[in-house]
Amino acid sequence: MYKNKLNIFLLTLILGITISLQIRSFNKEYEYVPLRVIYDYKKQIDKEKTELKKLKEVINDYTAKINEYEDAKIRDGDITKVLKKELNEVKKISGFTDVEGPGIIIIMNDGSRKLYEGENPNVLIVHNIDVLNIINDLKNAGAEAISINNQRLLFNSEIDCSGYTLKINKQEFAQPFIIKAIGNPKQLEAAVKAPGTYGNLLKEIGLFFEVNTSISIKIPKYSEELTFKYLQIKEGE
């Protein structure tokens, strides 16, 4: 009888120890993870997925180009026509050729209303920061080509104040400032005309700000010489 009780006690003790060890193992395996950590992991995973998607797109683009070169060589014996086509596309994107397409035309000018008592006259003058903000809004809205007074804007274009004039691409222009942008007309118009936009704010202040859509806008090529001081082509490794 005593032996049976001892066996039961030992079995119970062993069972208790085993359950305790399993619970400890369970707690170590499933520790609490803060939501911020989970969010950071998710953000990192999403970033990696985006990068992977971009790499796949690049691979697909290069594969398509290789196939196009091979087809051109088989069909015409050389790839001159394909290369010329690519050169024209590069010129179009970089701003070194005249372009045409749908978009909007913006006319900006100083305000003509009377000043309020004690109001700063500069409030009713178009400054370079006003033009720059409009240009940025157009870019964010998907503008594919932009010009100011027929000066094509590139990455290096400067817009500086010079009294009542603006210096654009090292040339001075008086008012009115006419901005042309090629892209989706509705999206571009909403980016500068909708309530809460910078363009709408300028109009409320009292500056002349007119926006018109067009199915055909012509923007000339970049007219200045483009030089690079530091940029160099990376040699193949």
Nearest residue to 143 via CA among 109, 90, 191: 191
Q: Which helix (H) or strand (E) holds 196?
A: none
Q: What are the pLDDT digits (tens) for 36-75?
A: 667 667 777 887 888 888 778 877 776 777 777 677 666 7
Q: How confident is the model at residue 19 (pLDDT cuts 50, 70, 90)?
A: low
The pTM is what? 0.63
pLDDT at 192: 95
CA dist 157 and 186 (Å) reads 26
Output the CA angle 223-226-231, nearest 5 degrees: 160
